[in-house]
Structure 1
Amino acid sequence: MKQKIFSLLLVLALLVAIEPFARAQSGFIGIFDEQGDVGVVKHKGTGSFNPKTQEYNLSGSGTNIWAKADGFHFVWKKMKGDFILRTNAAFIGKGVEDHRKIGFMVRTSLDSTSKQINAVVHGDGLTSLQFRKTDGGITEEKKSTVTHADVIQLERHGNKYIMSVARKGDLFTEDEVSDVDLGDDVYVGIFICSHNANVTEKAVFNNTRIVIPAPATLVPYKQYLGSNIEILDLATQNSTIVYQSPKSLQAPNWMLDGKNLLYNSDGLLYKFDLKTNTPTVFNTGSAKNNNNDHVLSFDGKWLTISSADQTGNSIGWIVPTTGGEPKRMTEIGPSYMHGWSPDGKYLVFCGARNKEYDVYRIPVAGGPEEKLTNTPGLDDGPEYSPDGKYIYFNSVRSGLMQVWRMKADGSEQTQLTNDDYNNWFPHISPDGKWIEYITFLKSEVAPGDHPFYKHVYLRVMPVEGGPSKVIAYLYGGQGTINTPSWSPDSKHLAFVSNTNLLFPVFPTATN
């Protein structure tokens, strides 16, 4: 009898021990390792991943994530060190409780009373950074000035956590705490809480990324992080990763057939088949030192590339899109090729002459180069509009790097952006309606620089000028969109993001 009582007590003890985290290991959950309910939850939660859309759908109940203990559904991965967590999250349906919650969370353990920090959006729109500094301690909160945030980012630097949130299309607003010690080995993931034990809520998470940023010891242009090639749908602003590599992949061009991309890596160009998600080397003949300035002609028959000659300077060349031995276009360098005229008669490029970088054009048929800008400071990234009337470029002449426009002969140079950021590489949509460009933070990057591995935005604005909106929030920079990356129908964009952590859920390069 005593033995039976002891056995029963042992079973009860084990049940109590595992109660705080009831695992639900069924199905494929993308970049995360496991999922389950944390704390006492009446209705079991679920989480699923759609490999095609790369969306996560969560359902869950739970009384709250607050005070001394939590109850919610969690989809997580174990991690160490610094990281950047980002997602677009939205509730499905009207919901019941104003304080139902979704977001990204970092926890020391899966116990309901664990130390934790979360970037959270509530059902009534309240957006905040919530944290519990000690096991079983009272949860504290920093409320954001942004409400109803669509984009949630949570970044860790040691014991400092930075929450960056935005409504879709807006720039980030930040809040941070610097003394939340969760230990190095933590659980990170997306979550949902209904704030009502009897209710199950649902939510969808898009653009969900876990980024391992560059370490402080990384040597620029000698050491590299891994790369994601992503395809962004302009209508939904949802992005899918179509290819990954531990190497540096840069500057995808969209070919005129709409079925292939071109990108550069390790001095070579690659043609990437969007149907099979596989790359093959693109033949550039003796040009084996290609960088990330390569542009297709408007008729899709030619490619201008930038490749170092025997002196080590970047030189402009052209090669047919069927591949072959390139023809040299510029006599001296550095010359970085950025655009074709729609009639195919001219190339425009950024050239360094007498230690000054300016915009030049040169006849494809041969002839002397012509200088189109002459102000002190860097002028870069020239690209023709589809009607051939204008050349868009970026210039540092007004202090920060901004987007400019001039007529095709270099006259009437006009500033189009004028904000507190550094804006680079304007690319005009094939339908001539929009300008895409990349934005660097002036707190991270000098006006005349566009390095790898920074917090950047991709933004679009009307081609005639006007308000800009963010279409992608990412970790990237150099190589993200150095070249035109619009799809032929102007509905999608290709770009490169970076991380030191690749996930087997996506196609991964080995070469």
Structure 2
Amino acid sequence: MKSEICIWRTDGTVTRRLSCAGRIEAPNWCADGAILVNAGGRLWRLALGAERLEPVETGFATRLNNDHAPAPDGSVIAISDKVETGASCIYLVPMAGGAPRRLTRQVPSWMHGWSPDGRQVVHAGARDGGPVGIYLTDVETGTERRVTAGFDHADGPDFSADGQWIWFNGERDGTVDIWRIRPDGTGAERMSGGPGVDWFPHPSPDGRHVVHLRYPPGTKGHPADLDVALWLMPQSGGAGREIVQMRGGQGSINVPSWAPDSSAFAFVRYPA
């Protein structure tokens, strides 16, 4: 198969940043313009202006899934790996690469985003046989707190830049829509609707937009390699619009990927 790392810009244009063989997933856009991705259980960096991926050292963590994100201050990257625990666990590694430091005490935990002040990570987790939900973990203490309740499945969380909301995809009664909720677990609001199956919302840093993935009606879970679309909606609420059609799905835009100035975001597609 082939993967294409692409850039969508606010003028509506899409450019291909890199094309390579194999499955590349989960682009993050770093402050220095580099893009982080996952491939083959490892973390890779596409430096600004570079034409090839370079590996990021993650020590013993060599069975990474595609859930990772750099801290707001650019000092560390939060990764998700299962070598040590047998299930997805969140670790911190230096931005330049290095030995992992375990963060989450309970597993499975899937990394998704950071609070704007860098003091907490927001992630998905499954506890005691219950459904997947949204959790906050304190970076200094490792203390975990559940945010969501009453969902059959809640996943793909990401903070708004002002720290006031956590956006996520929530399933109730077989319908998956985009939701937002206060970090203290109050004020849950459904922000999308319709027959499509909506996953992985990411608010832009300027507070204007949210990009998310839309699967075809009836899709179960968040599979890869389907005909999907990227949608853009206002953070303040209101109707969204389709901006990209592509072959993609899981791994296309499951982690935060906006440019710091909100002028563009990165995604991955898988042409036939």
1:465 matched to 2:240? The reply is no
1:484 to 232, 235, 256: 256
CA displacement at 1:311 relative to structure 2: 4.0
Provide the C-alpha distance between the structure 1 equivalents of 2:142 and 2:19, rounded to a whole number of angstroms: 41
- The answer as to whether partners of 2:151 and 2:170 remain within 8 angstroms in 1 is no
- The answer as to whether partners of 2:104 and 2:142 remain within 8 angstroms in 1 is no
> SS in structure 2 opposite 1:436?
strand
What amino acid is the match of 1:386?
A: A
- The answer as to whether partners of 1:358 and 1:379 remain within 8 angstroms in 2 is yes
Provide the C-alpha distance between the structure 2 equivalents of 1:278 and 1:338, rounded to a whole number of angstroms: 25
2:7 to 231, 249, 252: 231
What amino acid is the match of 2:190?
A: Q
- The answer as to whether partners of 1:336 and 1:349 remain within 8 angstroms in 2 is yes
1:392 is matched with 167
1:421 matched to 2:196? The reply is yes
1:32-431 correspondence runs (5 A): 225-235=1-11, 237-258=12-33, 260-355=34-129, 356-431=131-206
Structure 2: stretches of 5+ with no match in the other structure: none
Structure 1: stretches of 5+ with no match in the other structure: 1-224, 501-511
> SS in structure 1 opposite 2:172?
coil
Please tell me whether Structure 1 or Structure 2 has the larger radius of gyration of its CA atoms. Answer: 1
Provide the C-alpha distance between the structure 1 equivalents of 2:79 and 2:223, rounded to a whole number of angstroms: 20
Pairwise CA RMSD: 1.3
Q: Deviations over 1:63-95 (max 9, x none)?
A: xxxxxxxxxxxxxxxxxxxxxxxxxxxxxxxxx
> SS in structure 1 opposite 2:193?
coil
Provide the C-alpha distance between the structure 2 equivalents of 1:418 and 1:429, rounded to a whole number of angstroms: 20
Provide the C-alpha distance between the structure 2 equivalents of 1:414 and 1:398, rounded to a whole number of angstroms: 16
CA displacement at 1:283 relative to structure 2: 1.4
CA displacement at 1:277 relative to structure 2: 2.0
- The answer as to whether partners of 1:406 and 1:413 remain within 8 angstroms in 2 is yes
- The answer as to whether partners of 1:404 and 1:415 remain within 8 angstroms in 2 is yes
> SS in structure 1 opposite 2:217?
coil
Q: Deviations over 1:8-34 (max 9, x none)?
A: xxxxxxxxxxxxxxxxxxxxxxxxxxx
CA displacement at 1:438 relative to structure 2: 0.3
Determine which structure has greater relative contact order: mean sequence separation of CA pairs < 8 Å that are 6+ residues apart, divided by chain length: 2
CA displacement at 1:376 relative to structure 2: 4.0
**Alpha carbons of 1:227 and 1:411: their partners in 2 closer, same or farther (altered >3 Å)?**
same
CA displacement at 1:367 relative to structure 2: 3.7
Provide the C-alpha distance between the structure 2 equivalents of 1:231 and 1:305, rounded to a whole number of angstroms: 23
Provide the C-alpha distance between the structure 2 equivalents of 1:486 and 1:367, rounded to a whole number of angstroms: 27
What amino acid is the match of 1:381?
A: G
Q: Deviations over 1:182-220 (max 9, x none)?
A: xxxxxxxxxxxxxxxxxxxxxxxxxxxxxxxxxxxxxxx
CA displacement at 1:366 relative to structure 2: 1.3
Between 454-463 and 240-249, the greater mean CA deviation after superposition:
240-249
CA displacement at 1:310 relative to structure 2: 3.4
Provide the C-alpha distance between the structure 1 equivalents of 2:107 and 2:263, rounded to a whole number of angstroms: 35
> SS in structure 2 opposite 1:396?
strand
Provide the C-alpha distance between the structure 1 equivalents of 2:180 and 2:151, rounded to a whole number of angstroms: 17
What amino acid is the match of 2:108?
A: P
Provide the C-alpha distance between the structure 2 equivalents of 1:398 and 1:320, rounded to a whole number of angstroms: 41
What amino acid is the match of 1:323?
A: G
Structure 1 runs, 4 residues or longer, greater than 4 Å off: none
- The answer as to whether partners of 1:234 and 1:471 remain within 8 angstroms in 2 is no
What amino acid is the match of 2:269?
A: S
How many residues end up aligned between the 2 structures? 271
Provide the C-alpha distance between the structure 2 equivalents of 1:367 and 1:331, rounded to a whole number of angstroms: 7
> SS in structure 2 opposite 1:499?
coil
Provide the C-alpha distance between the structure 2 equivalents of 1:482 and 1:254, rounded to a whole number of angstroms: 13
> SS in structure 2 opposite 1:278?
coil
